A and B are shown apart, each in its own frame.
Chain A
Amino acid sequence: MMKRATDYGYAIKPVYTPEDIAELDYRRDLGEPGAFPYTRGYHPEGYRSRMWTQRMTAGLGTSRDANLVLKKYREMGQRGGMCVISDRVFSSCIDVDHPLGRREAGVLGWPGCSLLEFEELMEDIPLTGQSITLLGSCAPTTLRLAYVVALAEKRGDDLSKIHGSVLESPFENYFGQTDVQPFDLNLKLFLDASEYVIRNRIRMRAAIISQHFQESGGNNAQALALEMAMLKELCTLLVTERGLDFDDVATLPYELVSIGTRFFEEIAKVRALRRMWARLAREHFKAKKEKSCHLLIAAHTSGRTMTYQQPLNNIVRCAIQTLAGAIVGATAIDNATLDNAHAEPSPLAARMSLNTQHIVAYETGAADVVDPLAGSYFVEALTDEVEREAYAILARIEEMGGMIAALDRGVVQDMLREEAAKRFREIDTGERLVVGVNHLVMPPEEEFEIPVQELPPGDSEGIARRMEEWKKTRDLPLVAARLSRLHTDAGKGDRFNLMPAIIDAVKAYATAGEIFGVIRMARGLSYDPFNMIECPFALQ
């Protein structure tokens, strides 16, 4: 029996009428676009004043490879922003010449383990005039920021002219996107980077996002609740522990929301998100600036929904999801697309992704009107419902003492595991139909084989060797001195900001593994999280 319920399990009625939104008060609950509580969006003119940033993700092989792809994207018309994803080596903050790193360097993204790699990545590409987004995990947040600061200084760019996002929250580690560094270290460094950005007025955003949670199986209501819980916890820490003003802190976070194929529910979720954040900012944090009630929301079409079977169907899914992202007024959209269940995006997949966005933006008319589904009995009822359910989950988390306390008890992890298992079961038993997987299945031999983008074997070793040789050519006494300073600073307690020492070390071309190694040592941990190599420097 096919299930007719929202992804968080509420039954869906055959028809919705005015009675379903009898409680709705237009001014209180929706407001005009550009007015509190911002359910309908932040700009009165919507996409007429500014189109969403259409971006495709790059990163595979060497930094020079990724640089060529970025330039190609620019030629294809992607000028608003660039987005690069890190490989698993840089995400773990070890080096590509580490015994484990050399097996996977450049395999799943960009091997950005030193400033040299960033310089090569950005060759002939401006740091200003487009948003710079570097994705990965939480651990290298400080390094990504340090690269941007160091390169801007080298090029003589005004830091205040650079914008984008290079910070990622430490919670992803619990959302099926694990890096090897411990949570408390990730949290400390995330707060360091955030504080540095805010105090120096750098327009860099931090991803405090529910995307990984949802891609790992969480439902819409849970994603909203956790998004609020994470924002609340991290903003509170920045205000209370780092002594920052909330109105400054509010310029930091952005949400990358995962948009699936359940069209109306996805739209309802994002509308509820805007309203929930506006109320949190105004009522809980006592925001003084209206702008603090705006949460920057980017949309990612859901990789989880992209099937391995009959991959061309994914183009259709991606189009539906992109349309939802546009209708809901996302500031930026990036796509998981046809080969998502196979490999990193091939040139064909990237082209399809960009085309999809342009078809939605210019052929459908969806970008001409702000929040076109407002007032729909169904969508407004769904918006209220998902918000109510999310508040109920949030209340349970708050009762435990907030997001970190709930994680300490394993409650959030259990919630995610249960939900992921449920989702699997629903498809396994046919309660939810997925074309090509449990419905209209095709024999594998009849399937259309799509081109797959891969790193040729041996390239990882090449990247590793290059780093090995290059490391020796650095000004080693300088590297050692900078690392020693970092080591000393890292022993000064969690509130002592390590950004200045990290930036100095990065400028001397100290690497990710070296920088994290000495920070770890100062905290009583081993230099290498895998216990395979020793610190090559004598620290003073």
Chain B
Amino acid sequence: MTNGARDENVTLEALCRGDVRTCARLLTRIERGEEAVIPLLQALYRAGGNGRVIGVTGPPGAGKSSLISCLIGAWRRRGLRVAVLAIDPSSPFTGGAVLGDRLRMVEHGCDDGVFIRSMASRGQLGGLARAAGDALTVLEAMPWDVILVETVGVGQNETDIMRHAAVVVLLQTPLGGDEVQAVKAGIIEIGDVYVVNKSDHPAADRTCRQLREMIARGSRLRPDRDWQPPVIKTQAHLGVGVAELVDAIDGCFAHQNADPEAARRYMSDRARHRIGEILRDRLDRRLRSGDEGWLEGSIEPVVSREKDPYTVVAEMLSRL
């Protein structure tokens, strides 16, 4: 056994035991895109798959973090251990970020059964989704019963991350005015459970109605999907509606499990997505690496216009 492999085993065991510090350090290395962690991630993937992965997304200010805090409380009362991956955008100008999600989960700050990790999107092309996917690989190999991933519900990156989750909770607030924000963001298709938070607002009922109409239209477009996403009203600051939301999430999992065909479809969708993500990421890294040996012989004909780039790419793909 090599040193590397032995250390890998130690880390693997530590993670399987639920060692938070090992997990935290590994997540840092994943965020930095260190190639050296890949063998470990491979082992973790094979060992993993524990825990339910639930995505929570919605526009800024919708109350995601407060609602997650309530959900954590509800699951903790049932004795479940919860991990949270909270993703916030980085500043496109400086790369810095203020990660403020943890602040709304303050009541779980001293609970050993809760792990919270903030992650900055770091603005990498696709890199965020890759890092988040790897982070989930780590968390899924650990003894967490529930793994929550939270993103700001805007942009392709965030939508991509939600494809790692078995159940996606899409949060809305009635404060957005006439139009439901999800429509603007173009993420209406991805929700399994819809939540209208701040439901004491006078416009809450209208927002619920709009969502139900949209869901009805959506299900006509996707007859393969027999799950009818419910719309739940909550007031996160009072804990109102949280029990209903937990039930709805459970219901969605039960629905998936009851239909082995659907479950398989979800699992293969997720695997396909993950493969594609890693493929794009590896390709991207190679293209940006400056090491163009693997493109040997392909560049020159394109420069001289003997060949067009489409032909070259088609040749490469056929070799794959």
Confirm or deny: B116 has a beta carbon within 8 angstroms of a beta carbon on chain A: no
Least distance between B71 CB and chain A CB atoms (Å): 15
Q: Which of B107, B237, B239 contacts A184, CB < 8 Å?
A: B237
Interface residue tally for chain A (C-beta within 8 Å) = 13
Q: Say yes or no: is B240 at the interface (Cβ < 8 Å to chain A).
A: yes
> Does B276 touch A at the CB level, under 8 Å?
no
Q: Let me know if B123 is at the binding interface, CB within 8 A.
A: no
Cβ contact within 8 Å between B107 and A408 = no
Interface membership of B233, Cβ < 8 A: no
User: Which residues of A have CB within 8 Å of B175?
Assistant: 405, 408-409
Chain B contacts for A183, CB-based, 8 A: 237
Interface 0/1 of B155-186, CB less than 8 Å to A: 00000000000000000000100000000000
Contact between chains at B198 and A523 (CB < 8 Å): no
Q: How far is the CB of B60 from chain A (nearest CB, A)?
A: 8
How many A-B pairs have beta carbons closer than 8 Å: the answer is: 19
Query: Whole-angstrom distance between the alpha carbons of A302 and B160 in the complex?
Result: 50
Q: How far is the CB of B74 from chain A (nearest CB, A)?
A: 13
Is the CB of A458 closer than 8 A to any CB of chain B?
no
Give residues 502-540 of A contacting B (CB, 8 Å). 523-526, 530-531
- Would you call A493 an interface residue if the criterion is a C-beta within 8 Å of the partner chain's C-beta atoms? no
| CA A259 to CA B105, docked complex, whole Å | 37
Closest to A532 in B: B110
Chain A residues lying within 8 Å of B61, measured Cβ to Cβ, are 409-410
Closest residue of chain A to B201 (Cβ to Cβ) is A408
- Name the interface residues of A178-206: CB closer than 8 Å to any CB of B: 182-184
**B107 in contact with A524 (CB, 8 Å):** no
With a cutoff of 8 Å between Cβ atoms, the chain A residues found around residue B271 in the complex are none
Among residues of B, the one whose C-beta sits closest to the C-beta of A183 is: B237
Q: Is the CB of A184 within 8 A of B198?
A: no
Q: CA A392 – CA B238 in complex, angstroms?
A: 34
- Enumerate chain A residues within 8 angstroms of B237, measured Cβ to Cβ: 182-184
Specify which of A182, A409, A524, A526 is in contact with B240 (CB 8 Å cutoff).
A524
Q: Complex Cα distance A194/B213, Å?
A: 44
Distance A86 CA – B230 CA, assembled complex (angstroms): 48
Q: Which of B43-82 contact A (CB under 8 A)?
A: 61
Q: A410-B61, A531-B107 are in contact. Are A524 and B238 (CB under 8 A)?
A: yes
Within 8 A of B (CB), among A9-52: none
Give chain A interface residues in 143-195, CB to chain B under 8 Å: 182-184
B 198-238 binary contact with A (CB < 8 Å = 1; else 0)? 10000000000000000000000000000000000000011
Name the CB-closest residue of A to B61: A410
The reply to whether B107 and A523 contact each other, CB–CB distance below 8 Å, is no
CB distance from B171 to the nearest CB of A (A): 15
Most chain B Cβ neighbours within 10 Å, of A408, A410, A525, A526: A408
Q: Which residue of B lies closest to A182 (CB)?
A: B237
Contact with A along B1-13 (1 / 0, CB 8 A): 0000000000000
Chain B residues whose C-beta falls within 8 Å of the C-beta of A410 in the assembled complex: 61
Interchain CA distance A183-B239 in the complex, whole Å: 14
| Distance, CA A65 to CA B264, complexed state (A) | 72
| A408 in contact with B198 (CB, 8 Å) | yes
A523 and chain B: residue at smallest CB distance: B238
CB nearest neighbor in B for A400: B175
Which B residues are CB-close (under 8 A) to A409? 61, 175
Q: Please, which residue of chain B has its CB at the minimum distance from the CB of A526?
A: B107
**11 A-B pairs whose Cβ atoms sit less than 8 Å apart in the complex:** A184-B237, A184-B238, A405-B175, A408-B198, A409-B61, A410-B61, A524-B239, A525-B238, A525-B239, A526-B107, A530-B107
List the 7 closest pairs (A to B, CB-CB), nearest first: A524-B239, A531-B107, A410-B61, A182-B237, A524-B238, A409-B175, A408-B175
